[in-house]
Amino acid sequence: MDTSLRRSRALLTGYFLGLGVVMAVWGARMPAVQHAAHLTTGSLSLVLLAAAVGMVAGLQAGGRLARPDRLPALLIGGAVALAAALAVLGQCRTLASLLAAAVVFGAAHGVLDVAANTGAVRCQIAFGKPIMSSLHAAYSIGALGGAALAAATAGTAHSTLFLAVGAALTTSVLVTGARTLTLSGADPTTLRPQGTDRDPAPRRVWLLGALAAASLLGEGAAADWAAVHVHSLHAGTAVAASAFALYSTGMAIGRLTGDRLTTRFGAPAVVRAGAVLAAVGLTTGVLADSVPAALAGWAVFGLGLSGTVPCLITAAGSHGPRAVATVSVTGYLGLLAGPAVIGALATITTLPTALLLPALLAAALAALARHALESTAP
């Protein structure tokens, strides 16, 4: 296989890995950010909202700009901007400065997300076999590493950690910058175009986006409610905290094996079987009312959902980078809104009942996978 093609895959893996590290470090040290700026819960919510608004804007802008000849600039610029914004966020001590930095941070995240996924789609076509799942596995592994780094440096000021991670990411990008420039259409063996950038997006792209939202709602539920759920079963703090780690481990394992399964069985079958597994796993874990069953349920839920987003992004790629952005934006809406929706349902029912929502959505994903994925050929 062409050396430049393998190099392209390695570079894209690095971008996904770095994005996972940055997002995990930011999320894990959020309490320190809140304490340093003396923010109320409401004020912190505004900072998170600012980051979300910036991310949506960045996803939309990235979708419009992510043409083959612009991908290197978007990858390099998005990664450097994300690293710089993280470092600045660590120095902010007022709500106003945090809001401004959070908007830039979110926008850089959005641009880098679209650029990396668009590059991944094109690289996968050049390979002639599925590689998207392994690239997304790099993000999951980076997130696990970032969370571990944040935990290991708990005694270090978050400003120092953010600065160090930002500097490391910037250095990595600058060192590989010249190689990243070969990712454009200037080297057709590396990233070949796929389809055309159709605008407006066809209805099927919106279906892909809705399925991405259903999947990422489950990810948001795991991030914000898995530990709470296990703790409600009278588990200790450390055991409860392991629920999301098990979910993330299941996600990473599934993505590391997802490409082989997709090659053998096809994307529709992988997503359909995985979604059924996720629905059964979470439902069993929620209804069993025991700590071991709950932990196993969250792990199986992550394993089942692992192949969904890579396959949906690949399918969206056949409609061009703006379709990738559309699916990403819609998916992230599910990620952002999901925890709040589950919280609202829990207040009027119970938390276990509310957590059946992502299981039901996984079942719906299984039912619609074949129609959405078998009909997206360019």
Question: What's the confidence (pLDDT) of residue 361?
Answer: 97
What is the spatial distance between Cα 168 and Cα 150, in angstroms, rounded to a whole number?
Answer: 15
Q: What is the pLDDT of residues 117-129, one digit of tens each?
A: 888 888 888 888 8
CATH superfamily label, 3-183 = MFS general substrate transporter like domains (1.20.1250.20)
Q: What does the pLDDT average to over 286-301?
A: 94
DSSP string, 42-69: HHHHHHHHHHHHHHHHHHHHHHHH--GG
* Percent of the chain whose pLDDT exceeds 70: 93
Strands (DSSP E) contained in the chain are none
C-alpha distances (whole Å) from 45 to each of 92, 187, 207, 342 are 16, 44, 30, 17
Question: What's the confidence (pLDDT) of residue 4?
Answer: 76
Domain boundaries, the chain: 3-183, 203-373
Residue 339 φ/ψ, nearest 5 degrees: -60, -40
pLDDT band at residue 377 using 50, 70 and 90 as cut-offs: very low
> Tokens at residue 235, please?
């588990």
Question: What's the confidence (pLDDT) of residue 376?
Answer: 52
Contacts of 48 (CB under 8 A, 6+ apart): 102
State the number of CA atoms in the 13 A half-sphere of 173 facing the CB: 25
Reduce the DSSP state of residue 93 to 3 states and report it: coil
pLDDT band at residue 375 using 50, 70 and 90 as cut-offs: low
User: In the predicted model, is pLDDT for residue 38 greater than 80?
Assistant: yes
pTM as predicted: 0.81
Secondary structure tally for the chain: helices H, strands E: 16, 0
Query: Which position has the higher pLDDT, 92 or 226?
Result: 92
What is the spatial distance between Cα 119 and Cα 293, in angstroms, rounded to a whole number?
Answer: 39
User: Which CATH architecture does the domain made up of 203-373 adopt?
Assistant: Up-down Bundle (1.20)
Rg (CA), the chain: 20
Question: What's the confidence (pLDDT) of residue 192?
Answer: 42
Question: What's the confidence (pLDDT) of residue 228?
Answer: 83
What is the spatial distance between Cα 170 and Cα 362, in angstroms, rounded to a whole number?
Answer: 38
pLDDT band at residue 181 using 50, 70 and 90 as cut-offs: low
Contacts of 73 (CB under 8 A, 6+ apart): none
Look-up of token digits 């059946």? 356
- As a whole number, the mean pLDDT across the chain is 87
pLDDT band at residue 189 using 50, 70 and 90 as cut-offs: very low
CB 307 within 8 A of CB 133: yes
CB 172 within 8 A of CB 50: no
DSSP structure class, residue 201: P
Domain 203-373 in the same topology as domain 3-183: yes
C-alpha distances (whole Å) from 63 to each of 112, 213, 216, 235, 324 are 10, 18, 20, 44, 7
What is the spatial distance between Cα 91 and Cα 97, in angstroms, rounded to a whole number?
Answer: 9
